Structure 1
Amino acid sequence: MDRANYTTVQGDTWDIIAYKQYGNESLFPLLINANPQHATKVRFDAGVTLFVPAAPEEISEDLPPWKR
């Protein structure tokens, strides 16, 4: 995924946004780190624009450690 912006809808939370953008709610720290001005928010109002950094490349557990 390329870098992009996301505009919140009423009631969005960090994990919901991470799931919508990355398909994985556990990546929410990426969003918080990229948007420190909103780090204390728990639920968003509609219309907040957030920066969405590119998702990290997945590392296959099937690869030997030196190729991960």
Structure 2
Amino acid sequence: MEATYTTRAGDAWDLIACRVYGDVKYTGWLMAHNFPLLDVFVFDAGTVLNTPPLPAEQAASSLPAWRTR
């Protein structure tokens, strides 16, 4: 996986998370690693975002019961 993503006109955080990480549930992760750009809702073309690798998944046994379903 590349360490950056260059936006296309009209990209939004959730769409970028889906393209880069395969799921919108990683939108918060993406936003947390691009803090200076949090005021942008819809991007213009050409903005470069940091896209660090996702952290290792927690073992299911260490998750609360409501998170394992």
TM-score tier, shorter chain, comes to 0.7 to 0.9
Distance verdict in 2 for CA 1:60–1:24, change over 3 Å: farther
In structure 1, the partner of 2:53 is: 54
Q: Which structure 1 segments of 5+ residues have no match?
A: none
In structure 1, the partner of 2:66 is: none
Q: Which structure 2 segments of 5+ residues have no match?
A: 64-69
Q: Could you state the TM-score of these two structures normalised by the residue count of structure 1?
A: 0.79
Q: Shift of residue 53 of structure 1?
A: 1.2
In structure 1, the partner of 2:24 is: 25
Measured on the aligned residues, the alpha-carbon RMSD in Å equals: 1.9
Paired residue secondary structure (2:31): helix
**One-letter identity of the residue aligned with 1:46:** A
1:1-68 superposed matches below 5 A: 1=1, 4-59=3-58, 61=60, 64-65=61-62
Q: Shift of residue 57 of structure 1?
A: 2.4
Distance verdict in 2 for CA 1:45–1:51, change over 3 Å: same
How many residues get paired? 63
Q: Shift of residue 59 of structure 1?
A: 4.1
Paired residue secondary structure (1:18): helix
